[in-house]
Amino acid sequence: MAPPGRAARSAIALAAGIGLALAQPPLSLWPLAPLAVAVLCWLLARAPSPGAAARIGLLAGFAFFAAGLHWVVEAFLVDIARHGWMAPFALGFLAAGLSLFWGLPFWLAARARLAPGAAALLLAGLWTLSEFARAHVLTGFPWALPGYVWAETPLAQTAALFGPHMLGFLTLLGGACLALAVLGRGRMARLAPLAAALVAAAGWLWGAARLAAPAPQRADGFTIRIVQPNAAQRDKWRPEMIPVFYRVHLDESAAPPRPDAVIWSESAVPWLPDEDPALRRDIAGTAGVPVILGANRREGGRWFNALFVIAPDSSVAARYDKYRLVPFGEFLPLPALFERLGLSGLTGGSFSPGDGPRVIAAAGIPPFLPLICYEAIFPQGMRAGRRPDWLVQLTNDAWFGTSAGPWQHLAQARMRAIEQGLPLARAANTGISALIDPMGRMVVALPLLARGHVDAVLPAPLPPTPYALTGDAPWIGLILVFSVTCITFGRGIASRALTKNTSQS
């Protein structure tokens, strides 16, 4: 095929980026993912310069993040009079900034000056490494990683073996293998797509067999109750509505039959449990069992987004401070700069980070690892020394209405359960609340915009998964070795081709 012009390359790159976004939850049109990657590899091979290759990656990334993260606009529409004007700028700057993590691997792959097939394979490795960097740089933002396109399929179970980044690498590598059918020559070009299909089929069958097994059961039959008040964000802190939503929490917690523990969502109450014994007595007296809830706390002049365990005797049995804070939502990066720009009040006040992940052991509750909202999107934040029996996520997704945001957040929580082999209880203010088993299946759930509670017996944890034992390090090392190998052999192939062409001429 003739190399496309700049306008055509740009249009195709934008379309491929949108296709990759559609492959993510909640639509989960996963067949689009390898096809879109293959198209982008073909564009890379037809790019006339490294700069043109970088533009392909940047445009695809911008389209992907703009389409996939469009839900961030909803947060600015909660108080549209004050913040509505920021919505397009927030989405545009976010998509543009994150697209740099796509433009860089395309530029590097083109700079390597390899044969087209080798460049496609190299791109898969470099792209994965760049996505790994996105999960860590500047506090990290590992939302919508490539491997999440399989969240609704049996292939997601392979994350228990090697985690989301290796799953993302295999996804990108599968697309590169499809591109080899067009870009490469000889037996390798013919066999690469077949090999990719066989690997995907093997993973699919292994995942299906894993999902066919029932969830392991606890011997004690520990029952949890998840309460969802369905408090719209624009109503949540209105003075006349605060007691209404608080009453909902209490009534749902007291409904028979009595569970073994009750879970409320993030920032469930506006008061400070540490400093309000009457509040704790009200909660404990109504529930009669330990209550896990989200609320703020203060220490000196610092404020924390916290999780509390209120014991039946109304004492604070345990507390945990969120340590991964949302930039611009819970703290303001570069505060001096934004103060000069007159935007120092953008967050409405900043929280201080907690000390880091830790397992909570409170009387009457199996030990759990707490996750407050945003913390559940980080696969690297699940290791805290002692292995817990389960994960507990408190979140408030009301900021994002009925958009794709709550569904994507839920999908990532389910991936954490699969990766760690641990059940996860998720209490969300307006949904989606759920109990998730160690294979990522929802045992019970409350949908978006529903008020009520669900009770379920907590599943037992699985033995530590391979990924829980190893983390990302060995797999990222393997991808580095793969990328170096592509450069070494790809340059050899390109050099031999150049020599052959020169001798023929």
Helix (H, G, I), strand (E, B) or coil at 103: helix
Burial of 261 (0-12, 13-18, 19+ CB in 10 A): buried
Identify whether the C-beta of residue 472 lies closer than 8 Å to the C-beta of residue 132. Answer: yes
Could you tell me the two tokens for 147?
């491997």
Burial of 5 (0-12, 13-18, 19+ CB in 10 A): exposed
Residues paired with residue 305 on neighbouring β-strands, in sequence order: 296
Residues paired with residue 291 on neighbouring β-strands, in sequence order: 262, 310
Catalytic residue among 74, 252, 266, 419: 266
Residues paired with residue 393 on neighbouring β-strands, in sequence order: 371, 426
Sequence letter at residue 502: T
Catalytic residue among 74, 131, 252, 322: 322
- Long-range CB contact pairs, 335-340, < 8 A, 24+: none
| Measured CA distances, 360 to 221, 279, 321 (Å) | 20, 22, 11
Catalytic residue among 131, 236, 330, 373: 373
Sequence letter at residue 48: P
- 266 a catalytic residue: yes
- 373 a catalytic residue: yes
Residues paired with residue 459 on neighbouring β-strands, in sequence order: 217
- 74 a catalytic residue: no
Could you tell me the two tokens for 253?
């917690």
Cα 451–chain centre separation: 25
Could you tell me the two tokens for 271?
């008061």
Tell me the catalytic residues: 266, 322, 373
